[in-house]
Amino acid sequence: MATSTHLPAISSRATVVAGAIALALTGVSVASPRADKWSAKEICASHVCRTITADATVRVFRATDRHGYDIVFAEWSPTHQARELDFPRGEPLTATVLAGPVVADAVRYDSGTAVLVYVEDLKPGHSDVGGGWIAAENIEAGSAGVRDLAVTASGNVAWLVEGHFMNPSDPENGPYPRSRAIYCASGRTGDSMFLAYGPTLSPSALRADASHCSA
């Protein structure tokens, strides 16, 4: 993990790919300009649709065509309008959570060394509101990544990451033990903050961590 208790904010997934995870360049989706005009019914008429997460306002779903190519969409339930979300192609989501129109998700790239958290406001007209953070730095390949997330309607997020890494507040030379760490990030400031480290950490207080995050 980094010696600093603050992790760099990522302004967009394109920036992440161009910088910290350039090897994943071919796996990132490019939003279709027509996606704003699609309805979920139209999409699912020609794709196999599977819900990732949903509440009374928003449904996030994956649409897969007959060639196995998939796209992730958010459906704004009051109007059934759907918008393509910029999810990396073929990379595993390890956690997804909604708070009203705000969605947070975590992605672990195949190497296991790039673990990222994103927040996006799905309300129509708010497509540029959001942010992204490196959830764990210098984490060993094969680590589980982000296991649990909590997000607030204001865009604050907290996460628990699991894997092989050293205590970010007291780094030592490897080997890296298997452990957990909790971070939070502020949607208002764009900063993230290290909160806790240890093998037995529980995600039970993540919602409170997100609500009170003052990074």
63-95: per-residue pLDDT in tens? 999 998 888 898 988 888 888 887 766 677 788
Question: Is 162 in contact with 106 (CB distance < 8 Å)?
Answer: no
Task: Give pTM, 2 decimals.
Answer: 0.75
Mean pLDDT in residue range 111-129: 75
d(CA 197, CA 201): 7
35-71: per-residue pLDDT in tens?
456 889 999 999 999 999 998 889 999 999 999 888 8
pLDDT for residue 69: 87
Phi, psi of 106 (to 5 degrees): -125, 140
Find, among 198, 212, 104, the residue nearest to 159 by Cα: 104
- Of 132, 75, 82, 125, give the one whose Cα is nearest residue 107: 132
Instruction: Provide the 8-state DSSP code for 69.
Output: -
Q: What is the pLDDT of residue 213?
A: 92
pLDDT at residue 28 tops 70: no
Question: What percent of the chain clears pLDDT 90, i.e. is strictly above it?
Answer: 27
**Most confident option among 60-64, 123-127, 172-176:** 60-64
Sign of the alpha-carbon dihedral angle for 23, 26, 27, 30: positive
- Inform me whether the pLDDT recorded for 102 exceeds 80: yes
Token pair in block for residue 56: 């009374």
Closest residue by Cα to residue 158 from 108, 199, 97: 97
In whole angstroms, give the CA distance from residue 165 to residue 179.
Answer: 7
